[in-house]
């Protein structure tokens, strides 16, 4: 493969994964609004498209078209940079997440943008940088409510990063590697029996990871940084239009990220829970391998996202679209 072919192939993978990630963010918002609507004995979004499935497209268009108000007292360069930094860090970590097994006789790596030996460390490092977006948003807004909200959110994120990182130590020691693909392959021996949460006896570590993930993504009951009753709206009080939407896109992108990491480290990644299915890549055609890998991975991430959405008592994006 020449340098040009490698560049073009990498560009295609980046484009596909980015679009898939943004679509996942949009429909995770729709899923939460539907779930919260059911909890509150109402339908939720149901008017735009069949079953309300086109609602995220309308919400995105409305966010772009709304007036972008910038207060006169803000520090404009950092004020504009903050939402970009938050969303960029949330999207960047998806680059090292493998979505499926290598296919074909040459083990073509279609389902990962970059296979990095320290992939887990990259994810922890990149996601931890997202706190700067929140802190800078509160400081640059020149608003005491925004500043208090950003300080509260930064303290929470930094505190729970320690617990989240320590919960992964057992998985790393068991696999002997920080490479996410190696960690998944180590769990593929006997299906669900050898997944880290069961065969590795990492259920306590998973519970700690789950609680830290709720805190890292500002899910209830860890949503104090956005306490509307006392901080108006927290660190994003002075933001409107697409800048406001970018903060919540980052929040839901982080939900998908923690679901992907949980799937890879505790639930076998793209491997099947049925033991006899994991030998299919050695005999099956590449298309079947790709479909099964994506199916198992997406199913596990979806179930994890549903559990996080079902525990949310508020859907902040509904305020954006009202």
Q: What is the pLDDT at residue 13?
A: 86
Among the residue ranges 153-157, 185-189, 239-243, 275-279, the one predicted with the least confidence is 275-279
Average pLDDT over residues 108-119: 81
Give yes or no for residue 16 having a pLDDT over 50: yes
Mean pLDDT of 79-94: 90
What are 254-279's pLDDT values in tens digits?
Answer: 889 999 999 999 988 888 887 765 55
Under the banding of pLDDT at 50, 70 and 90, the label for residue 241 is confident
pLDDT digits (tens, 9 = 90+) for 169-197: 989 998 888 988 889 888 887 878 888 88
Percent of the chain residues past pLDDT 70, beyond the cut: 88
d(CA 199, CA 277): 18
* Average pLDDT of the residues in 162-174: 89
Q: Is the pLDDT of residue 312 over 80?
A: no
Residue 315 has pLDDT above 50, yes or no: no
pLDDT in the model for residue 261: 92
| Tokens (6 digits) for 263 | 């799937």
SS (H, E, C) 64-123: HHCCCCCCCCCCHHHHHHHHHHHHHHHHHHHHHCCCCCCECCCCECCCCCCCCCCHHHHH
16-25, 59-68, 283-292: least confident range: 283-292
**What's the predicted TM-score (pTM) here?**
0.85
Pair 234, 149: CB distance under 8 Å: yes
Cβ neighbours of residue 150 closer than 8 Å, sequence gap 6 or more: 134, 135, 136, 137, 138, 139, 225, 234, 235
Confidence of residue 321 (pLDDT cuts 50, 70, 90): very low
Quick count: other Cβ atoms within 10 Å of Cβ 218? 22
Average pLDDT over residues 131-139: 88
pLDDT band at 231 (very low <50, low <70, confident <90, very high): low
User: What is the rounded CA–CA span in Å between residue 207 and residue 205?
Assistant: 5
Q: Is the pLDDT of residue 317 over 50?
A: no
Inform me whether the pLDDT recorded for 106 exceeds 70.
Answer: no
Predicted local distance difference test score (pLDDT) of residue 316:
47
- Tokens 């509150």, residue located: 40
Report which of residues 108 and 37 the model is more confident about: 37
Region 59-79: mean pLDDT is 86
pLDDT band for 232, please (50, 70, 90 cuts): low
How confident is the prediction for the chain on average, in pLDDT?
82
- Report the pLDDT averaged over residues 5-25: 86
Which positions ≥6 away from 43 have C-beta within 8 Å?
37
* % of the chain beyond a pLDDT of 90: 5
Residue tagged 């068991």 (tokens)? 174
């Amino acid at each position: 493969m020449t340098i040009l072919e490698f560049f073009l192939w990498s560009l295609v993978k980046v484009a596909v994964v980015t679009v898939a990630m943004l679509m996942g963010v949009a429909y995770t918002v729709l899923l939460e609004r539907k779930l919260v609507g059911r909890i509150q004995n109402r339908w939720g979004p149901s008017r735009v498209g069949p079953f309300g499935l086109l609602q995220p497209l309308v919400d995105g268009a409305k966010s772009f078209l709304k007036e972008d108000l910038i207060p006169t007292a803000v520090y404009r360069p950092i004020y504009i940079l903050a939402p970009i930094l938050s969303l960029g860090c949330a999207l960047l970590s998806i680059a090292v997440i493998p979505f499926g097994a290598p296919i074909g006789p040459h083990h073509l790596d279609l389902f990962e943008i970059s296979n990095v030996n320290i992939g887990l460390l990259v994810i922890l490092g990149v996601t931890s940088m997202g706190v700067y977006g929140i802190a800078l948003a509160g400081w640059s807004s020149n608003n005491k409510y925004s500043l208090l909200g950003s300080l509260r959110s930064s303290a929470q994120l930094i505190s729970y990063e320690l617990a989240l990182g320590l919960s992964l130590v057992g998985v790393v020691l068991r696999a002997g590697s920080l490479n996410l693909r190696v960690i998944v392959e180590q769990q593929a021996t006997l299906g669900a029996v050898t997944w880290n949460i069961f065969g590795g006896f990492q259920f306590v570590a998973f519970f700690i990871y789950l609680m830290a993930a709720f805190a890292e993504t500002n899910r209830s009951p860890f949503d104090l940084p956005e306490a509307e009753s006392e901080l108006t709206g927290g660190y994003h009080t002075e933001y409107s239009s697409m800048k406001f939407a970018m903060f919540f896109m980052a929040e839901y992108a982080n939900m998908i990220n923690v679901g992907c990491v949980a799937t890879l480290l505790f639930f076998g990644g793209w491997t099947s829970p049925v033991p006899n299915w994991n030998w299919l890549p050695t005999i099956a055609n590449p298309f079947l391998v790709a479909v099964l890998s994506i199916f198992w991975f997406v199913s596990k991430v979806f179930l994890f996202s549903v559990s996080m959405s079902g525990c949310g008592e508020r859907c902040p994006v509904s305020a954006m679209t009202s």
